[in-house]
Amino acid sequence: MVTKLHASERFVINQLIDRGVFTSTLTPRTPQATVEAVMALKRTVTQQRINGYLKNLVGTIPENYQENLVWLLGPLKEDAETVHVLLATLKAVINIPELQGNRADRAVLTQTVVRQVHSEVTTLDEREIHRLITALFVDRFKLFIPDVPEYTPVDQDQEITEYWDIDPEINRFAQTVVTHFRQKQAMPPLSAIQRLNRVLLIKRSLNRATTSPQLWQVLQDNRQAIAQQWAELDRFDLEIGDDYALLLDHTRTPSRAKPTVVAIALARQIGVGIPLEKLNQKIKQVSAVLLPNYPINLTLVKQALTDLGLVTIQSDFVTPTPLATRFMAKTQSEEETEYDSVNDPKTR
């Protein structure tokens, strides 16, 4: 039976899905919804209901360190290199002298952090480290806010210095995450439905052609029960077709990232698919039409293809997923591009 959740419980679980962490520190600026969730989490019954829902959904519950929750699922849990960057970044930031105490100005040079992390993670270059830190701390955990100071244009080119504004929550976050990674925990045995829900949560789409027959049958046999599980969060709709399944997220918002726009346009144009060796050429072709005067980064486009679940790559062949049809890429002007997520069944 699906656990019936209260608003604060949904709030905590959705935070865990988005960030992997829920911390209990309160400040005068803390939003009211967060305050209510933190207060609710102090009650044992709230913790039990959150744990019960997540256990039923995917087989694992959050780890609780003094009412700070950690719940990491997916690639981050298994990618040792990413974890190394994560921990090295935390070490670098919490040891920066300028961030000691309660200073109002918590901006640090991006390059300072990147170089410090690079001194520990020598297997990656600084560009890749910058990308990973951005993906983790800016996009996922939302603890670093990019800050480019205002400057006065001059005739000659000038270098723009990038800063990150560091959230005061970083120390509590660091304690929680470090404790998590120090405690090795074995993967519990999972039911077929729990394994299926894990795949849906990580990939957000399933394709009959690339899903094991056993898992696909589990989806067909339990489609109503699984859809009810996800619907309880008041966030997801599970759409199941003859040869696909989509976990549609109401919170997905339009993006103006140019590589993402190119990725969506490409996924909608490749028909039944293309050989992997032709992917770079296709990216260049789509980019030339969509953004003729913009030098696109091939790596970022490929990352967007996989991060959004727009394609699958198997046997050196790139195939669009049904999720690709849920997005729409457009250009408003040469400088401004965006995509919209067409993911609410009620709008179709």
What tens digit of pLDDT does each residue of 244-263 get? 888 888 887 656 678 888 99
The answer to whether the beta carbons of residues 249 and 333 sit under 8 Å apart is no
The answer to whether the beta carbons of residues 108 and 64 sit under 8 Å apart is no
Euclidean distance between CA atoms 304 and 317, whole angstroms: 17
Whole-number pLDDT of residue 335 = 40
Q: What is the mean pLDDT of residues 58-71?
A: 89
Q: What is the mean pLDDT of residues 151-179?
A: 73
Distance linking the first and last C-alpha atoms of the chain: 30
Q: Give the least confident one: 11-20, 55-64, 311-320.
A: 311-320
Q: What is the mean pLDDT of the chain?
A: 83
Q: Give the least confident one: 85-94, 156-165, 238-247, 262-271.
A: 156-165
Whole-number pLDDT of residue 160 = 60
Nearest to 12 by CA among 40, 31, 52: 40
Length of the chain in terms of residues written:
348
Where are the strands (E) in 67-127, listed by range?
A: 68-70, 107-109
Euclidean distance between CA atoms 90 and 158, whole angstroms: 31
Is residue 285 predicted with pLDDT exceeding 90?
Answer: yes
The answer to whether the beta carbons of residues 167 and 176 sit under 8 Å apart is no
Is residue 94 predicted with pLDDT exceeding 60?
Answer: yes
Q: What is the mean pLDDT of residues 275-298?
A: 90
Is residue 2 predicted with pLDDT exceeding 90?
Answer: no
Confidence of residue 306 (pLDDT cuts 50, 70, 90): confident
Confidence of residue 347 (pLDDT cuts 50, 70, 90): very low
Whole-number pLDDT of residue 340 = 47
Strands 163-166 and 144-147: antiparallel
> 27: which residues sit within 8 A by CB, 6+ positions away?
168
The answer to whether the beta carbons of residues 26 and 255 sit under 8 Å apart is no
The answer to whether the beta carbons of residues 229 and 2 sit under 8 Å apart is yes
Q: What is the mean pLDDT of residues 162-186?
A: 83
Is residue 336 predicted with pLDDT exceeding 50?
Answer: no
Whole-number pLDDT of residue 113 = 95
Q: What is the mean pLDDT of residues 229-240?
A: 93
Query: pLDDT per residue over 100-153, tens digit each?
Result: 766 667 889 999 999 999 999 999 999 999 989 998 998 888 889 888 655 444
Q: What is the mean pLDDT of residues 293-304?
A: 85
Is residue 344 predicted with pLDDT exceeding 50?
Answer: no
User: Model pTM greater than 0.95?
Assistant: no
| Residue 345, both tokens | 């069944």
